[in-house]
Amino acid sequence: MIGRLDLYLARSVLGSYGAGLLFMVILFTLVNLLIDLSGFLEAAEARGASIGELTFDMAVYYTLSLPLVFVMVGPFVSVIAGMFAVARHMAANEIVPMVFTGRSMSRVLAPVLALGLLSALAMAGAWEYVIPKIAEPLDAARQALEGDESSSELSGLVVKLREGVDQTLFVERYRHDAQRMEGVSVVEREVGGLESSLLTAEAAVWDAERADWVLTGGERRTETRSLAQELLGLTGVEPDLLWRLGKEGRETVQLSYSELLDLQNLRPGRRDLVLAFHSHMTFPLANLILLLLALPFAVYFERGNRIERVVFAVLLCAAYVVADLTCQNLGKSLLHPILAAWLPTIVFGSFGVVFFSSVRT
């Protein structure tokens, strides 16, 4: 049962987590602001925006980016909050009486681990439900700050279809608000045959009544003849499909679990999409892994070794981050993407369980 002492420890850890999260958010915002400020000022001057308008636009942009900051710093906030909360209770000589009264060290540290679990669940929920909803407004806010009005324009789309013939659609530009493609070309080749054709068009506009794209300057050429063509005639190529494909141009941190699965079905050979999907599961688990690695070093009963233990815990967490980044890079070329995503979690998670089970009482 949850007792008064558990609630006391939980409030302490929650306060440390809130302070750490606020610090990390402010730090990330200030760093990004220093990087982007010169470009924002130049764009504001070019479009004649006042300082007040620029400040408001930046406030909107950085407010919308808060969920992205959270999923990037969540595990580090958890470990910092846990280390500080336990160290504070150790310095106040509150842990020793708890142990003397029969409370196990695992029970003492349970609120810290519970907070790490809640942080992991919050990260997963933000990735699936919050970030997809703010992705488009966030892109629009940044493009407004940069003076780019083509918020719904996609470029360089490629769609492969195989239904009796091998068909590949190339689109130079696509505007989703107008449902209009520009620079359209389709290469078709019969499966098992040698005959091929090329369809080109200056533009294509979606016709909802015909459920097809009406071509402007459409022409189909084969080796023997050339014919005008009015409709695109590709089954399944609808505006929604093109917009979904356009999401693969975003950074994977802005994609939800369902969006990554959808893109994997559309792009079966994309290793980075597989890697990103599994990383979306392993990175929230880093909340618990880093705590399992660091908390044993926060529990100390000797004098004079506090700084050394904290430094060693920080080095272990840094080793996890380096290993994770290394496997992420290797997963795009050498390692299988699933193995690359889960290997640091398995290895450091095993070490974390061993360290935590050997914590002194």
Res 179: pLDDT: 87
145 and 58 inside one domain:
yes
143 and 158 inside one domain:
no
Res 70: pLDDT: 95
Range of the domain at 191: 153-237
192 and 312 inside one domain:
no
294 and 223 inside one domain:
no
**Contact (CB, 8 A) for 328 and 340:** yes
Confidence of residue 349 (pLDDT cuts 50, 70, 90): very high
| Residue that has been written with the tokens 């505006």 in this structure | 239
Residue 260 lies in a domain: no
Res 313: pLDDT: 77
Residue 337 lies in a domain: yes
pLDDT average, residue stretch 175-194: 79
199 and 121 inside one domain:
no
**Contact (CB, 8 A) for 303 and 132:** no
Q: Considering 150, 177, 201, which residue would you say is the last residue of a domain?
A: 150
The closest of 159, 154, 180 to 170, measured between CA atoms, is 159
**Type of residue found at 15:** G
pLDDT average, residue stretch 143-164: 71
Residue 99 lies in a domain: yes
Mean pLDDT computed over every residue of the chain:
85
pLDDT single digits (tens) 303-313:
656 667 677 77
Residue 253 lies in a domain: no
Enter the DSSP assignment of 104: -
| Higher per-residue confidence, 356 vs 311 | 356
**Cβ-based neighbours of 30, under 8 Å, separated by 6 or more:** none
359 and 334 inside one domain:
yes
- A 10 A CB-CB count for 145 gives 21
9 and 92 inside one domain:
yes
d(CA 218, CA 183): 11
Enter the DSSP assignment of 234: -
Residue 246 lies in a domain: no
Q: What is the pTM of this model?
A: 0.79
Residue 97 lies in a domain: yes
Inter-residue long-range contacts of 210-213, CB under 8 Å, 24+ positions, other chains counted: 211/238, 213/181, 213/184, 213/237
**Type of residue found at 102:** G
Residue 245 lies in a domain: no
**Contact (CB, 8 A) for 204 and 213:** yes
**Contact (CB, 8 A) for 345 and 282:** yes
Q: What's phi and psi for 205, nearest 5 deg?
A: -120, 135
15 and 111 inside one domain:
yes
208 and 348 inside one domain:
no
277 and 135 inside one domain:
no
**Contact (CB, 8 A) for 203 and 180:** yes
**Contact (CB, 8 A) for 339 and 331:** yes
Q: How many domains does the chain have?
A: 3
Res 195: pLDDT: 65
Confidence of residue 152 (pLDDT cuts 50, 70, 90): low
Minimum mean pLDDT among 104-108, 147-151, 243-247: which range? 147-151
281 and 232 inside one domain:
no
Residue 118 lies in a domain: yes
Q: Considering 131, 150, 169, which residue would you say is the last residue of a domain?
A: 150
Bridge partners for 174 per DSSP: 154, 181
Statement: residue 247 has pLDDT above 80:
no
Q: Considering 237, 258, 289, which residue would you say is the last residue of a domain?
A: 237
141 and 160 inside one domain:
no
What are the strands, taking DSSP E only, across the chain?
A: 153-162, 165-175, 180-190, 196-207, 212-216, 219-221, 226-228
